[in-house]
Amino acid sequence: MTDVINAFVLIANFILVPGLTYGSQLGLGALGVTMIYSVLRFSNFAHGEMMSFGAMVTILMTWWMQAQGFSFGPLPTALFALPVSIIATIGLTLTSDRLVFRYYREIKAPPVTLLIVSMGLMFFLGGLIRFIIGPNDQQFFDGERFILKARDFKAMTGLSEGLAIKSTQGITVVLALLMVSFVFWFLTYTRTGKSMRAYSNNEDLALLSGINPDRVVMVTWIITAVLITLAGTLYGLDKSYKPYTYLSLLLPIFASAIVGGIGSPVGAILGGFVIAFAELFITFAYKRVLGYLLPEQLEPSGLMQLLTTDYKIALSFVILVLVLIIKPTGIAGGKTL
C-alpha cells in the first residue's frame, strides 16, 4: 500500500504540481490570445513580447522597491509591484492599439494583415525590452522559497518519496484561479462583458444594438493587459526571466488557445492544461513509479520514457499540428477563421 502511495506522491511531485503551475501560466496567456482573437479577430504575434514587457516592468519595480528597503516577509516583492506593471501594460496595449492596430480595423483589413502587423510590433517590443533590461537572465524572486519542502513532507508522512511545493507554484495557481474566475464572471454577468461576447459573436448586429465598438476593443485590451502581465510575471517568477524565452513561449500559448478552441475562453484554460500535462506525462521517466508498483523481478531497466525531455517543448507543437489537422475547432469547439 505504501508503495502505491509513494508512486502517487512521485507523480504528484513531478507531474501534478508542475503541470498545474505551467498549465496556469499557459492558460493565462492563451486566454489573452483568445480574447484578442475573438474581439479584434487576429492572432497577435506580439503577445509573447507583451508578456515580456509586463514582466520587465514588474522586475524594474521590484528592484526599486527592494532598493527602497520594502520587504513583505514570506511573500515575493514582485506581487506588490504588479499593480504598477499592470497599469504600464494597459498603457502599452492601448497605445499599440491606437498607433498600430486601430487603423487596420478601420480599413477592415483582412486578419492576415493584422497578423503581419503584429509581427512588426513583436520586433519593436523585443528590441525595446532588450534595450531597457538587456537580453540576459534576471532574478527577481525574494521571500520564502517553499510552501512545502520535500524533507518536511517525508518527515510528516514517513514516506520515502517527497513532495515539494514552491511558493511560486502556489502563487501562480492561486492568482491564475482568481484572475480566470474574474474574467469569467465579467464576461458572463456584466453588461460590458456581455457586450464583448455579443460583439465577438456578431459584429454587425452588435453595432445595430448600439454597442460601441471602440469601447469593446478598449475593455478587451485592458483585460488582456492584466492577463498578459500576470502570465508574464508568474512565468518569470516561477522559472526565470529572459527576454528570449517569451518569444519561444508564443507557440505553446497559441497551441493552448487552438487546442482548446480559439475564441473560447474555457477552451483556452483547458488547452493550457492539456499542453502542460501532455508535455509532462509523455516526457516523464516512469522507471521509479513502476519500481514501486511492479513486483521486483519485473522492474524495468530503462528509464521508461515515451520521449526524452529534450522534446518537451516540441511536443506542444506536435499537439498543435495534430489538432489543426484533425479538429481545427479545438476541444471546446471554438471558431475557425
Partner 1 sequence: MTNHHRTYFAFLMMTILLIAVGILQSWNVAFNILNLCVISAIMALGVNMQWGYAGLVNFGIMGFVAIGGLAGVVISMPPVTEAWQAGGVKLMLGFATMLAVIAIAIVFWKRTRGWKHLARRRYVIMAIILISGYAVFRYIADAAVVSIEAVDPAKTGYLGGLGLPILLSWIVGAIAAGLVAMLIGRIALGLRSDYLAIATLGISEIIIYILKNEDWLARGVKNVNGLPRPVPYEIDLQKEAWVNTLADGMGFSVVNASSLIVKIAYLSLFLAVLLVLFLMAEKALKSPWGRMMRAIRDNEVAAEAMGKDVKRRHLQIFIIGSAVLGLAGAMLTTLDGQFTPPSYQPLRFTFLIWVMVIVGGSGNNYGAIIGGFIIWFFWIEAEPIGLWLMDLLTSGMSEDSALRDHLLKSAAHTRLMTMGIIMMLVLRFSPKGLIPEAKR
Partner 2 sequence: MSFLIGRDMVGGYGGANILNGCTIGVDKGEIAVIVGPNGAGKSTAMKALFGMLTLSSGEVLMDGQNIMHLKPQERVQLGMGFVPQTANIFTEMSVEENLEMGAFIRRDDFSDTMEQVFTLFPILKEKRRQLAGELSGGQRQQVAVGRALMTQPKLLMLDEPTAGVSPIVMDELFDRIIEIARTGIAILMVEQNARQALEIADKGYVLVQGENRFTDTGKALLADPEVRQAFLGG
Shortest distance in whole angstroms from residue 214 CB to partner 2: 12
Rounded alpha-carbon distances, angstroms, from residue 178 to 25, 138, 194? 13, 27, 20
Rule CB under 8 A: say whether 296 interacts with partner 2.
no
Count CA atoms closer than 13 A to 256's CA, side-chain side: 31
Shortest distance in whole angstroms from residue 225 CB to partner 1: 19
Shortest distance in whole angstroms from residue 212 CB to partner 1: 25
- Spatial CB neighbours of 83, under 8 Å, sequence gap ≥ 6: none
Q: All 3 cell numbers of residue 259?
A: 487546442
Instruction: Tell me which of partner 2, partner 1, none is bound by residue 112, counting a contact when its beta carbon lies within the kind-specific cut-off of 5 to 8 angstroms.
Output: partner 1
Shortest distance in whole angstroms from residue 48 CB to partner 1: 11
Cβ nearer to partner 1, comparing 155 with 303: 303
- Point out which residues bind partner 1 (CB under 8 A): 42-43, 100, 103, 110-113, 115-117, 119-128, 130-132, 134-135, 247, 251, 254-255, 258, 308, 310-311, 313-314, 317-318, 320-321, 324-325, 328, 336-337
Shortest distance in whole angstroms from residue 195 CB to partner 2: 6
Q: All 3 cell numbers of residue 243?
A: 527576454
Of 172, 182, 183, residue with least CA distance to 78? 172
Give helix then strand counts, H and E, for the chain.
15, 2
Rounded Cα distance between 231 and 85, Å, is 12
Cβ nearer to partner 1, comparing 83 with 110: 110
Cβ atoms 42, 36 nearer than 8 A = yes
Cβ nearer to partner 1, comparing 136 with 160: 136
Single out the residue of 68, 131, 191, 297 in contact with partner 2 (rule: CB under 8 A): 191
Amino acid in position 153: F
Q: All 3 cell numbers of residue 264?
A: 473560447
Q: All 3 cell numbers of residue 237?
A: 517568477
- The residues that bridge with 116 in the sheet, in sequence order, are none
- Spatial CB neighbours of 247, under 8 Å, sequence gap ≥ 6: 48, 49, 52, 122, 126
Shortest distance in whole angstroms from residue 194 CB to partner 2: 6
Cβ nearer to partner 2, comparing 197 with 239: 197
Rule CB under 8 A: say whether 195 interacts with partner 2.
yes
Taking each helix axis from N to C end, the angle separating 265-283 and 17-40, rounded to the nearest 10 degrees, works out to: 140
The contact mask relative to partner 2 for 196-225 (x = CB under 8 A, - = no) is -xx--xx-xxxxxxxx--------------
Instruction: Tell me which of partner 1, partner 2, none is bound by residue 313, counting a contact when its beta carbon lies within the kind-specific cut-off of 5 to 8 angstroms.
Output: partner 1
Residues contributing to the site for partner 2 (CB under 8 A): 191, 194-195, 197-198, 201-202, 204-211
